Amino acid sequence: MTSPVGFTLLQLRYFLEAAERGSMTEASGALHIAQSAVSAAIHNLERDLRVQLFIRRRGRGLTLTPAGERLQSHARELLARAREVEREARGDGETISGPVAVGCFVTLAPYYLPPLFSECTRRYPGIEIDVMEAETDQLVQALGAGRIDFALTYGLGLSAEPDLRGETIARAPAYVIVPADHPLARQGAVELAELSAEPLVLLDLPHSRDYFRSLVAATGTAPDVRYRTRSYETVRSLVARGLGYSVLNQRPATSQTYGGGEIAELELRDGSPPLEVKIASVRGMTQTARAQAVMGLLREVAARTIP
C-alpha cells in the first residue's frame, strides 16, 4: 500500500491562486472565500511539505520562494490531471473539452493558427484554445512557468533548454526575396554570394537574426544590414520597395505585400539546412487529453503546410 499524501488538491488550488495574484486578499476575492481560509490552507501546506512557499512582505504582497516556484509548476499539472480523472470517472472522457494554452512563435502564427482553429472548431468544439504569440525566449519562460501547455516554435534556441523536449513536425528551408523587377528575379534560384554587394533587410527577432546573418556570413562576406524590423510583412514591403533583399523561411501564398508592392522568391543553392518547426513541451510533463488532441491537429496542419 502507498503512503497517504500529506496535502489536498484544495490546498494546491488556493496556493496557485495566491501565487498567480501575489496576494492572499486578491486570492480570497477570486475564490469567493474568507482570506483566513486561504491563509490557513497555505500555512498547512507549508507545514505538511516542510518548506516555505512564499516570502511575505507587509505592503508588498507575496513572492514565491524557489520551492514555491517548483511547486507551482507541479501543482498546475496535478490539478489538470485531477480534472481529467474527474471527467473520466463521470463518463465525459469521450467528449474532449476545456481550455488549452498554446504558445506560438510570432512568424508561424499566420500559417498555423487559422487552420488549427478551423480544424479544432470542427472536430473538438468543446476545446477553447488560448494563444500566446511571442518570441522563443518568452515561450521558453512561459513553458517553464506553466502558463502554456506547449509551444509551436522554431528549433532555434531550444537545444540550450535541457528541461524542454522538441518534436519536429515540419521543416522550412530558407529562401531569398528580391524586388519583382530585380535582375535576378527570373532566375528561380541564387547563391547568397550573388547578392553580397546589396543591402540586407533583416528580420530582427532574437535567434532569427543570428540565423539569417550566419547564412550570409557562410558565403565569406559580411552582411550589409541596412534595414531591420521585427515585422515579417514589413521586411517584405521594404524589399518590394527596392531597398534590399532578405532571407526568410515561411512563404506567404502571394507575392503581393501590404503596401501594394511585389516581391520575387528565389530558391537558395547554398545548401543551408532548413529550420525545424517544433512542438516544444516540458520534459516529463503529462499532457491533458485536450492538449494532446490539439497537438495532433498541429501535426496534421504541418503535414499539409508547404513552407
Residue 91 has pLDDT above 80, yes or no: no
For residue 153, what are the contacts with CB-CB under 8 A and spacing of at least 6?
103, 104, 105, 108, 136, 139, 277, 278, 280
Superfamily of chain region 175-273: Periplasmic binding protein-like II (3.40.190.10)
Phi-psi region of 244 (alpha: psi -120 to 50; beta: other; left: phi over 0): left
Fold match between domain 97-171+276-303 and domain 175-273: yes
Percentage of residues in the chain with pLDDT exceeding 70?
94
DSSP label at 219? T
Per residue in 229-288, pLDDT (tens digit) is 999 999 999 999 999 999 999 999 899 999 899 999 999 998 788 899 999 999 888 888
DSSP labels, 94-116: TS--EEEEEEEETTTHHHHHHHH
**Domain 97-171+276-303, CATH:** 3.40.190.10
> Which architecture does CATH list for 9-86?
Orthogonal Bundle (1.10)
Number of H helices, E strands in the chain: 9, 13
What would the pLDDT profile of 198-216 be if each residue is shown by its tens digit?
Answer: 999 999 998 888 889 888 8
Residue 1 pLDDT class (50, 70, 90 cuts): very low
Domain ranges of the chain: 9-86, 97-171+276-303, 175-273
